[in-house]
Structure 1
Amino acid sequence: MIFHTFETKLKMPAPEEALPGRAEPIPTADRHFVNGRPLKGPYPEGTEKVLFGMGCFWGAERLFWQVEGVWVTAAGYAGGLTPNPTYRETTTGLTGHTEVVLVVYDPQIVSFAALLKLFWESHDPTQGMRQGNDVGTTYRSAIYASTQAQLAQARASRDTYAEALKVSGAGAITTEIAAAPAFYFAEAEHQQYLAKNPGGYCGLQGTGVTCPVAGGAAA
């Protein structure tokens, strides 16, 4: 049995505290429920990948699969210590992972700036280890970049949005921005959850502050 407390869920575990996980990936879906494309690839040449953490991954994933130029999305876990964690394990706070959405996109159709704008405006990046009523390390805000260019652009957009939030009276941004760590696909039932369950839970709520980051189609 896994034991955890409210305090455990609000702090990152030390390596010696982390759950051991497993060597093999947990089972998941093969194809995207909405567009039928393979979740694990191969992805078309020229596409790029990024991981976004915005709280519960159900609502976050739906946002991105609707964007023209996004080839496929997947729900999963990243930024923690436990290899190949299960959903139940991540909810204890003892894996260190946050819920993320893998976004595979064509930069010739949709710019990374447009994805960043959607990211910043669709959740509250000032809440630390929570997102609304969802509390814990699994709900922290994060951008995990796959290229140095993405990393630089994500950091620049954070600084720009921080100024806009400051003017509005909002708090400081707590979003973790880093090079992409290992990504673990979530279980099949979590993939494209809101397409399968249209009335399902979605706690996404932005700050109401516009992000002044250039968006739209790629130049």
Structure 2
Amino acid sequence: MSFMTMLTKKFSLPAKEEALPGRADAIRPVETHFVNGNPLTGPYPDGLETVLFGMGCFWGAERLFWQLPGVHVTAVGYAGGHTPNPTYHETCTGRTGHTEAVLVVYDPVIVSLTDLLKVFWENHDPTQGMRQGNDTGTQYRSAVYVKSAEDLALAETSRKTYQEALKAGGVNASITTEIRQLEEFFFAEDYHQQYLAKNPAGYCGIGGTGVSCPTGLDQEA
């Protein structure tokens, strides 16, 4: 495979045997959260839960979540692929299988997964497949990765509910969001963490469909 081919953004996920080999050593952020000062890496305080969201470029997506009451810490990284401990540049080749993801560590007493899913659905277009706006490639696909079967059922119900809301709102495209149980998350490089707090004029590709997400997503459909 030529170097130029390796750098081409792909619109289909690589098979495990096609993925880049990665490395044994993980990227470990050395700084605390730039906004709230909490450690980015675990173990986190007892009683907190985690979820991963992919919704395009992770810079703008992360800012949405760190502003929410009840969110203990956020971090950006890579999830849903094959390559162990990928770098940003490797992920951008499309040959790791990962999407850019935001780790949200939250207190479910203050903010529920339902609340977080509402922010997720309303602030990107989950119907675009391997892209988000002008950002194209597998690393920009929409995704929700949860830790438990209970959270998985809630996320899948929320997808069905929001699909119905899109149809009612005149959006006839199907949701392409990948939803599955997944605990593996690879932290991105320090310069990506809380990027828009460090660079207020930086690029933010966040934009939704304009369709509100119904409340009560934790109810059975």
| TM-score bucket of the superposed structures, by smaller chain | over 0.9
- The AA in structure 1 aligned to 2:48 is T
Whole-Å Cα distance in 1 between the matches of residues 82 and 207 of structure 2?
28
Matches within 5 A, 1:51-66: 51-66=52-67
In structure 2, relative to structure 1, the CA distance for the partners of 1:197 and 1:146 (3 Å cut) is same
1:214 aligned residue (213, 216, 220): 216
Matches within 5 A, 1:1-219: 2-4=3-5, 9-170=10-171, 171-214=173-216
In structure 2, relative to structure 1, the CA distance for the partners of 1:184 and 1:211 (3 Å cut) is same
Aligned length: 215
In structure 2, relative to structure 1, the CA distance for the partners of 1:201 and 1:8 (3 Å cut) is closer
Q: Find the residue that maps to 2:16 and give its secondary structure.
A: coil
Residue 189 of structure 1: how far off its partner (Å):
0.2
Q: Deviations over 1:166-216 (max 9, x none)?
A: 12232100000000141000000000000000000000100000111338x
Whole-Å Cα distance in 2 between the matches of residues 47 and 8 of structure 1?
36
CA contact (8 A) 2:9 2:93 kept: yes
- The AA in structure 1 aligned to 2:178 is E
Whole-Å Cα distance in 2 between the matches of residues 142 and 124 of structure 1?
11
- TM-score normalised per structure 2: 0.93
Residue 8 of structure 1: how far off its partner (Å):
5.0
- The AA in structure 2 aligned to 1:144 is Y
Whole-Å Cα distance in 2 between the matches of residues 85 and 163 of structure 1?
36
Q: What's the C-alpha RMSD, in Å, of the aligned pairs?
A: 1.6
Q: Deviations over 1:95-147 (max 9, x none)?
A: 00000000000000111111000000000000000000000000000000012
- The AA in structure 2 aligned to 1:177 is I
- The AA in structure 2 aligned to 1:122 is N
Whole-Å Cα distance in 2 between the matches of residues 27 and 46 of structure 1?
23
Moved more, 198-207 or 178-187: 178-187
CA contact (8 A) 1:30 1:40 kept: no
